[in-house]
């Protein structure tokens, strides 16, 4: 995999798309972003001291298999945290938590051609030593209880992303299984028990006596 290091860029996800025509896997890393992007149009704080990178891959997956990309990205962050002695869990679908706080942001953009994922851009912003202010987030150094070298963390994340993973590895780190959680589904907020995540990425819940699989809901809180 080709790796490019940049001091500053607006967004690694936007920058890496210049390599789409090459058909080669690439990783673009930046020390800081001026317009880092999160999910749902949110901005992502990207001050120096964090790990900000994007991977361009050509997975050739069926559309129904695209959740594997998201699961693998979250798992790569978990494995990176674990390599530095930090236990990490995943809040569905891809929020990685350490000490109950958000450790990173993941933004995935897939190119669909004839019903298949022809290319995927996986952007990951991992908090390490960067200032977080009042954000409900945590840096890997704080979670580890010692200052970590950002270059070491970046190298570990790139290494784990390139390794294979199984969906069972994702499930093993899933938080709140069997617990009552608070969900927001199309503006309706309610409590339900989180049962499991299905291979296609849907969240299976039990609301009273009814069992349903959700794709568009947001897990906004948890009961315990």
**Whether residues 186 and 153 fall in one domain:** no
- Among candidates 59, 21, 15, which has minimal Cα distance to 37? 15
pLDDT for res 30: 95
pLDDT for res 213: 96
Domain CATH number, residue 193: 2.30.30
pLDDT for res 43: 58
β pairing state of 61-62 and 89-91 = unpaired
DSSP assignment of 73-93: HHHHHHHHHHHTT---EEETT
pLDDT for res 58: 96
Average pLDDT for consecutive 10-residue bins of the chain (224 residues)?
Answer: 94 94 94 74 73 95 92 98 98 94 94 94 95 90 97 98 96 95 92 95 95 90 56
74: phi then psi, degrees, rounded to nearest 5: -65, -40
- CA-to-CA separations, 61 to 57, 64, 128, in angstroms, rounded: 11, 8, 32
**Whether residues 189 and 136 fall in one domain:** no
**Whether residues 26 and 116 fall in one domain:** yes
């Amino acid at each position: 995999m080709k790796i490019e290091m940049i001091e500053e860029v607006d967004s690694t996800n936007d920058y890496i798309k210049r390599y789409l025509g090459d058909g080669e896997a690439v990783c673009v890393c930046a020390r800081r972003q001026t317009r880092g992007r999160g999910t749902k149009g949110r901005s992502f704080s990207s001050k120096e001291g964090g790990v900000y990178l994007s991977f361009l891959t050509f997975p050739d997956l069926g559309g129904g298999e695209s959740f594997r990309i998201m699961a693998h990205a979250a798992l790569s962050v978990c494995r990176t945290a674990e390599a530095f002695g930090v236990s990490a869990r995943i809040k569905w679908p891809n929020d990685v938590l350490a000490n109950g706080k958000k450790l990173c942001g993941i933004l995935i953009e897939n190119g669909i051609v004839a019903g298949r994922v022809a290319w995927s851009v996986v952007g990951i912003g991992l908090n390490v030593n960067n200032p977080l202010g009042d954000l409900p987030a945590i840096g890997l150094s704080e979670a580890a209880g010692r200052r970590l070298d950002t270059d070491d963390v970046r190298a570990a994340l790139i290494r784990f992303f390139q390794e294979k993973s199984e969906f069972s590895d994702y499930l093993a780190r899933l938080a709140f299984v069997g617990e009552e959680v608070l969900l927001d589904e199309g503006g309706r907020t309610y409590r339900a028990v989180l049962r499991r995540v299905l291979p296609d990425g849907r969240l299976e819940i039990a609301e009273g006596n009814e069992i349903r699989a959700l794709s568009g809901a947001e897990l906004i809180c948890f009961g315990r």
